[in-house]
A and B are shown apart, each in its own frame.
Chain A
Amino acid sequence: MSQVTNFAGKIVAIPNNDIDTDQIIPARYLKVTDKAGLGAACFSDWRYNADGTPKADFVLNQPEHQGAAVLIGGHNFGCGSSREHAPWALIGAGFQAVISTYFADIFRNNSLKNGLLPVQVDEETHRQLISLAQEDPQTRVTVDLVTQTLTLPDGRQVTFPIDAFSKECLLKGVDQLGFLIDLDPAIVAYENDHAARVSLHG
């Protein structure tokens, strides 16, 4: 996984509440066995007509919004299915951070493991950012993971929460599996103290 530290980018708003992972990446795209090509299918049903042509009125298709690196959604972003294809698709579509007032638990976990930053902000900042993104497609924000701050176009800074462990992994660009593998002695000790009641091997 590549390192995440700080970045500045254009922000685009899909202000709907409760954007579920079926919208981010519909199930019919989950028949892949790798992560390739998911970016093109991101928000597929909102983005394309039945004949595959782009819907001109959908924000991600509009020329002035191309190249956006930050997506702001409505409340409760990423609810529903546990599919990690959702952050994979968002990353494939060029996003480095998603902003909402709160995130569904599994989506937040999945995003943090892939370097897609879930940036949780208060409702007032949220409203303000959506307005800015809608009024001026060139609106840019800066995200700094080290200081956990989001800088708005007017220079105002708000902090966002992230757990210390995930932050450390993102800053170093290491995944969390290595940490668990290093815990082997503790896992062995646990297994020795807790016999399995169920075994698939008889």
Chain B
Amino acid sequence: MNQVRLQTLFEKVWNKHLVQPGSEGMPAVLYIDLHLVHEVTSPQAFTVLRERGIKVRRPDRTLATMDHSTPTTPRGLDGLIPVTDMQAAAQLDVMRKNAADFGLELYDLGTINQGIVHVIGPEQGLTQPGMTIVCGDSHTSTHGAFGALAFGIGTSEVSHVLATQCLLQYRPKTMAVRVNGVLHPGVTAKDIILAIIAKIGIGGGTGYVFEYMGEALRRLSMEGRMTICNMSIEGGARAGMVAPDDTTFEYIAGRPYAPTGADWDRAVAEWRTLPTDDGATFDNEVVLNADELVPMITYGTNPGMGMAINATVPDPDRASDVSAKMALDKALKYMDLQPGQSLLGKAVDVVFIGSCTNSRIGDLREAAKIMRGRKVADGVRVMVVPGSQKVKAQAEAEGLDRVFKEAGAEWREAGCSMCIAMNGDQLAPGQYAVSTSNRNFEGRQGKGGRTFLASPLTAAATAIYGVISDPRLEIEVERA
């Protein structure tokens, strides 16, 4: 008889981090390996520490950056990025003071390592398989692409981790998200996750941690896997994970915080024990076939309101119940769209390529592939916002910045930019945007702004034509 209990990837990571197991009505105490901090959700947590006279327990496991309220406008003659919003400037100063007072490493605005918190962790090699990672940001799920258990927390919990390096958590349920088959050209990781969320709905993963698996996932780059894990929260799951494999190890190797020499060999040997055991069971499962997927786009005001790019806007009168009809009615009114309408050919005002979902070098290469040697359509504002200063430098070394600038797009400094619209980058009321970001909520990209979520390929094709366009046609042109 098998004496070893079969475990999922999640269970292995969870169990290894239990300072104290939970019980009925009593949360587990979970140790946190890496705490990422940014300027927007941390100030009130540091205030709690000051009020109680507590130090940060593990500054060596805590990294701060600036990304949400930072402008992405060009540098001045002094080489610095000007912050003209006085409230944002004050918030950034508070981050600087907190980092200095509590002895934390801070990647300050415009310095070489600064960037979106979920871009810099993996980039620095800080994000590693089997770790527990938290941040006061719901897209912390991104780091799960490495086989880490990573999830967003609130500011009270930020204070808990700063003070004790621990969190009180009830054990979530597990859901296997299996993506079989192989993607067609022009269909990407972003389309996979938009299709998953459209299938399960934005509340479908509530209470679960996802483990993404299947042939299509295995074939994805780390950047593609990050895009998928990033949007786990848009399906309601706090975390999404992918079992580490050679693709993972190759990505990590040689990065600043990656283990080296004999430590590397030991690390890889340990990481190879993490994947879900054959025969381990999940609480739930959802299955998708990659070869049936086409590029996806959202039409509504939450990420679950997505469809194939060549489909038509659904009819509220055919909604499953009264509340669903009300939601769809409200969404279509906000978006000023009609049931039965095709989005292909719909004119847009702005194209935004960036965010923690799609601002890595691979995303920019994809967009550049379509935009190279071409011009963006008249009257369309196209913003390309690298996820970090390192991504920006790499793109410039490859000449991608010239591709974008020569096409007529804006090439900007690193940050969250128009994904969160609290930094000067935002839509005007009524404007339409195709965006590679993660949320199309009302007003998310600026009060009254209207967002269509899509992949970098779809965004780039739309930038060229000025209307929502199917990128598969561009891929075929390129191959011919």
- A residues near B (Cβ < 8 Å) are 15-18, 20, 22-23, 26-28, 30-35, 45, 50, 74-76, 79-84, 102, 104-106, 109-110, 113-114, 163-165, 175-177, 179-181, 183-184, 186-187, 190-191, 194, 196-201
**Across the interface, which residues of B come within 8 angstroms of A18, CB to CB?**
202-203, 302, 304, 327
Task: List 26 A-B residue pairs with CB atoms under 8 Å apart, sorted by A's residue number.
Answer: A16-B327, A16-B330, A26-B447, A28-B447, A30-B68, A33-B90, A75-B323, A79-B302, A82-B153, A104-B203, A105-B236, A109-B157, A110-B156, A110-B157, A163-B27, A163-B170, A177-B159, A177-B164, A180-B166, A183-B19, A186-B19, A187-B165, A198-B128, A198-B131, A200-B63, A200-B126
Could you tell me if A28 and B422 are in contact, using CB atoms closer than 8 angstroms? Answer: yes
Q: Contacts A79-B202, A175-B156: A17 and B19 contacting too (C-beta < 8 A)?
A: no
- The verdict on A109 contacting B154 (CB below 8 Å), with A15-B323, A74-B327, A197-B267 known, is yes
Q: Which residues of B contact A28 (CB under 8 A)?
A: 421-422, 447
Cβ B154 vs Cβ A84 within 8 A = yes
CB–CB B443/A26 < 8 A: yes
Q: Which residue of A lies closest to B47 (CB)?
A: A34
B441 touches A22 (CB 8 A): yes
DSSP majority for the A interface? loop
A190 CB contact (under 8 Å) in B19, B59, B302:
B19
* A187/B421 in contact, CB under 8 A: no
Question: Inside 8 A of B33's CB, which chain A residues have their CB?
Answer: 196-198
A104 near B154 with CB under 8 A, answer no
Q: CB distance B422 to A30 under 8 Å? A: yes
Report the nearest A residue to B303, measured CB to CB: A80
Cβ 8 A contact of B41, one of A16, A82, A163: A82
Question: Assuming A18-B304, A83-B41, A197-B131, what are 5 further A-B pairs, CB within 8 angstroms?
Answer: A45-B447, A80-B233, A80-B441, A81-B138, A84-B136
B324 at the interface (CB under 8 A from A): yes
Enumerate chain B residues within 8 angstroms of A187, measured Cβ to Cβ: 19, 29, 31, 57, 164-166
Q: Is the CB of B203 within 8 A of A76?
A: yes
Could you tell me the distance in whole angstroms from the C-beta of B252 to the nearest C-beta in chain A? Answer: 11
Give the distance in Å from the alpha carbon of A80 to the alpha carbon of B206 in the complex: 11
Contact residues in A for B91 (Cβ distance below 8 Å): 31-33
Across-interface contacts of B47 in A (CB, < 8 A): 33-34
Contact A17/B60 with A186-B19, A198-B34 known, Cβ cut-off 8 Å: no
B residues less than 8 Å from A201 (CB atoms): 59-60, 105
What are the residues of chain A within 8 A of B62 when measuring CB–CB? 200
CB-based contact B157/A113 at 8 Å? yes
Give the size range of B's interface with the partner: 35 or more
Judge whether A176 and B160 touch: CB under 8 Å: yes
Residue of B88, B104, B154, B439 touching A110 (CB-CB under 8 A): B154
State whether A164 touches B168 (Cβ < 8 A).
Answer: no
Are A17 and B152 closer than 8 Å at their CB atoms? no
- With both chains docked as a complex, state the minimum distance between the C-beta of A103 and any C-beta of chain B, in angstroms: 8
Count chain B CB atoms within 10 A of each CB in A32, A34, A80 and give the residue with the most: A80
A residues in contact with B60, CB < 8 Å: 196, 199-201
What is the 8 Å Cβ interface bit string for chain B, positions 195-217, against chain A (1 contact, 0 not)? 00000001100110000000000
CB under 8 Å from chain A, chain B span 137-162: 137-138, 152-157, 159-160
Q: Does B442 contact A (CB under 8 A)?
A: yes
Contact residues in B for A164 (Cβ distance below 8 Å): 24-26
In the assembled complex, B475 has its CB within 8 A of some CB on chain A: no
* Contact A20 to B128, CB < 8 A, known contacts A50-B429, A180-B166: no
Judge if B40 is at the interface, Cβ distance under 8 Å.
yes
Name the 9 nearest CB pairs between A and B, nearest first: A164-B25, A76-B203, A33-B43, A110-B154, A84-B154, A82-B152, A113-B156, A27-B422, A82-B138
